[in-house]
Amino acid sequence: MMKPRLIVHGGAWDIPDKFVDDHIKGVHRAVEEIYPLLEDGMSALDAVEKAVNILELDPTFDAGRGAFLNARGDIELDALIMDGKELDFGAVCAVANLMHPVSLARKVMGAKDFRILAGAGAMEFAKTCGFEELDPRELMTERELDFYEKIKNDEQFTPIDAFSGQGPSDTVGAVAMDKDGNLACATSTGGTPRKHPGRIGDSPIIGSGGYADNCLGAASATGYGESLLRVMLCRTACDFLRHEAPMQAADNSICVLKNRGQGYGGIILIDHFGDYGIAHNTPRMAFAYADDNGNINAHIRLEEDVNTRPCKDYKDFCAKIHLLLKDPSFPIENIKTVDFLEAMNAWLISTKGGSSFDFDTDSPESITWEDLTQLIHAASMYE
């Protein structure tokens, strides 16, 4: 029986200080409400759907209530859900007047003849499934109405501006592992601000906005959709898991996004052992997860969460060092300082009776090459 895992995100962009508390509270609430249910036996698939439902209801985020308005002043929503056990999925695109598009995507996954529905056809299916069609105003917030008025005639505004602080970009997502070791992911979004009606981004596209495979891991992404689509970000991250620890896989997938996709975004990831990976190349990304003790950690930047840098224990990091040392083109000085310090913490705790490096008072210079040599030696013994 596996230890349940749940991690959620609330978008990656230059989140202004005035929005930080709402973002942290929002992602914290989703984990706080759903993780105990996972511990009680809820399936991973149910967990990601219900966690995203909570985020869709929260007007802080660009999903469900609070979503962006398109160029016509309407709301169109996209969502994806995927089951890692069966590699089954469901997605909806450009649906209107629904609070929970991810739940409609779940219904699509259970349909006989299709796995992706869009627009009017998706809404017809929603009616047959008993979904309530809302007044569009129930999804609109004063924040987004004001923002739309500000940008609707601004010829200089482009969707990518949303990632530089010009406006919110709060796609939401979740990944989970249940007690049976099954993995699942879900992603939901209102897209980009002032988007062309009918525009579809990465979020509802399998492999880009989300991916789950019990043999590899589960991922949910957020960012500039056209760039994420180019590199199939979530499938790329899961493929990296074949040979890499989750934090390294997340980091490397974001490097691919930046260097090949020429874009900005973030990703959350769980491998099939239940270890977390988180990465983003935007100034901030809201995320939350439950640690091994069930404590909820919610942050707005990866650097604020030393628990996830870079991996669960020193052996995982040793494996990473081992892989790097086998590549003669990799200069050892490129290992991130924070990665090394976290590895040293784990190593010291496991071999020296609990002493550890203090980020606040100790200097990186106090870590010796002898310490590194011992880490590398451990790596050479770990295959």
Whole-model pTM: value is 0.80
pLDDT at 98: 96
> pLDDT tens, 278-329?
999 988 999 999 998 899 999 998 766 644 443 344 445 555 554 444 444 4
Q: How far apart are CA 185 and CA 218, in angstroms?
A: 6
Enumerate residues 6+ apart whose C-beta is below 8 A from 335: 321, 324
Q: How far apart are CA 98 and CA 89, in angstroms?
A: 19
Sites in the chain below the pLDDT cut of 70 = 159-169, 303-383
pLDDT at 351: 47
At position 274, the amino acid (one-letter code) is: G
> CA 69, 74, 76 angle in degrees (round to 5)?
80
pLDDT at 340: 52
pLDDT at 248: 87
- Yes or no: domain 5-308 corresponds to CATH 3.60.20.30: yes
**DSSP label of 108:** H
> CA 267, 4, 257 angle in degrees (round to 5)?
10
**Residue boundaries of the structural domains of the chain:** 5-308, 314-380
pLDDT at 306: 43
Buried b vs exposed e over 289-309: b needs ≥16 C-beta within 10 Å? bbeeeeebbbbbebeebeebb
At position 134, the amino acid (one-letter code) is: L
pLDDT at 342: 53
pLDDT at 156: 78
**Peptide bond before 331: cis, by omega within 30 degrees of 0?**
no
Determine the 3-state secondary structure of 60 from DSSP.
coil
pLDDT at 48: 99
DSSP 114-127: -SEEEHHHHHHHHH
Does 141 qualify as catalytic in the annotation? no
Given the residues 60, 171, 187, 192, select the one marked as catalytic: 171
